[in-house]
Structure 1
Amino acid sequence: MAERRERLISAAYMLYSDPGFPETTIEKLCTAARISNRAFYECFSGRNELMQALHERCVQETLTAVAKSIAQAPDTPLGRAEAGIAGYITYVTEDRRRARIMHLEVRRAGDCLTMSRQQAVQAFTQIIETNVFDLPRVAETDRRLLALGMIGAIQELLIEWVLADDPPPVDSLISTATHIFYRSFTT
């Protein structure tokens, strides 16, 4: 069963990113994974549960990549923030499918993934709170709201990157997000 589950997650990684979550039927997933519809339902209750498993895997892998970037950064709030931003954007954009699933298709999946999205946002909020909130200016603001604003800005930059006919260079995404960070956290 674990091997079939992995094949379905791999099929969903391809199909949920293109043609997209709403357009991907269980039949298409089963064909791509080379399993029967019955075998699908032995692994997942439906497309939504499969999307949730895929999204959570993408988030966990990204959290690991960001933690590694921060651990290798200069041990200052600004050094950790810059490394975290660059680590996040670089990792997510290394595979356009990952960026599309994490920032576009998860929204297109609808209410069924609201909890999964909120858990991901909470995990990234915790990273920001843990690594950059010893900056002097931050003490004057609501830290959680500031972290959420930063997350929202990065999400919108990545949605633009996914949807644009001529996507901005990844370096521009990183420098823009870093600029937003500096303006939000240090001025």
Structure 2
Amino acid sequence: MSAAYTLFAGAGFNATTIERLCAAARISNRAFYECFTGREDLMRAVYDRCVEETLQAVAKAIGEAPPDTDSRILAGIATYITFVTRDRRRAKIMHLEVRRAGDILTPHRRRAVAGYTQMIEKTLGELPGAPPERLHLLSLALVGAIQELLVEWVLADVKPPLEDLIDTAVHIFRSSFG
């Protein structure tokens, strides 16, 4: 898993062969296939771990934030962006390589998007003045906006400051729910 995390985020999913993974992990091909059915299965495991760790960090931050809307919005968005970018490999796997891996990971990506969307819906659904008629679509749109901001961060030669990403996402969120 550790070798895959580094290789998928470095050379990329498409350039990472089973042989290269096994050499980096110092295991035989046979040992690899005893644990995983293929490269896609390993990518799913790496991606799912990244998502789970991120969901836990964001849920904790929201839970510890003061109960007002603005504090919860800022805590959730800031934690997501800073946690994901703390390790560029995580950001690249979660926001770029999962897409490059193709259709095989689409259900996992959709499940992750649903998890983040549900977290936003649950948080805002508990707050007064939440727009229940559009809550799901607005939450989904925010998740997409943040993902694209992070794709930009991963691909940019000159990375935008994290504060700018956070401020932009918060602005979009406030505009949508304000």
TM (norm. structure 2) is: 0.97
Poorly superposed stretches of 4+, deviation over 2 Å: none
Moved more, 129-138 or 22-31: 129-138
- How far apart are 1:82 and its partner, in Å? 1.2
Q: How many residues align?
A: 177
Rate the CA distance shift 1:61–1:137 in 2: closer, same or farther, 3 A. closer
Cross-structure match for 1:63: 55
8 A Cα contact 2:81 2:162, kept in partner: yes
One of 43, 58, 61 as aligned partner of 1:51: 43
> Which residue matches 1:136?
129
1:154 to 2:146 alignment:
yes
* TM superposition shift of 1:88: 0.3
Distance 1:145 1:24 in 2: 36
1:122 corresponds to: 114
Which stretches in structure 1 are left out of the alignment for 5+ residues?
1-8
Distance 1:172 1:142 in 2: 27
Correspondence for 2:167: 175
Matched with 2:66 is: 74
Deviation at 1:142, TM superposition (A): 1.9
Match among 73, 88, 105 for residue 97 of structure 2: 105
Counterpart Cα distance in 1 of 2:131 and 2:78: 21
3-state SS, counterpart of residue 65 of structure 2 = coil
Q: 1:68, CA displacement in angstroms?
A: 1.4
Matched, 1:164 2:156: yes
Letter in 2 for 1:171: E
The alignment's C-alpha RMSD in Å is 1.0
Query: Any gaps of 5 or more consecutive residues in structure 2?
Result: none
Identity %: 60
Amino acid of the residue matched to residue 144 of structure 2? G
- Contact between 2:124 and 2:130, CA under 8 Å: does it hold in 1? no
Q: CA deviation at 1:77?
A: 2.3
Matched letter for residue 13 of structure 1: Y
In the alignment, the residues of structure 1 paired with residue 160 and residue 68 of structure 2 have an alpha-carbon distance, to the nearest angstrom, of: 29
CA distance change for structure 1 residues 101 and 13 in 2, over 3 Å: closer, same or farther? same
Amino acid at match of 1:29: L
- Correspondence 1:10 to 2:2: yes
**In the alignment, what sits opposite 1:26?**
18
The offset of 1:137, in angstroms, is 5.3
Deviation at 1:78, TM superposition (A): 2.2
Partner of 1:87: 79
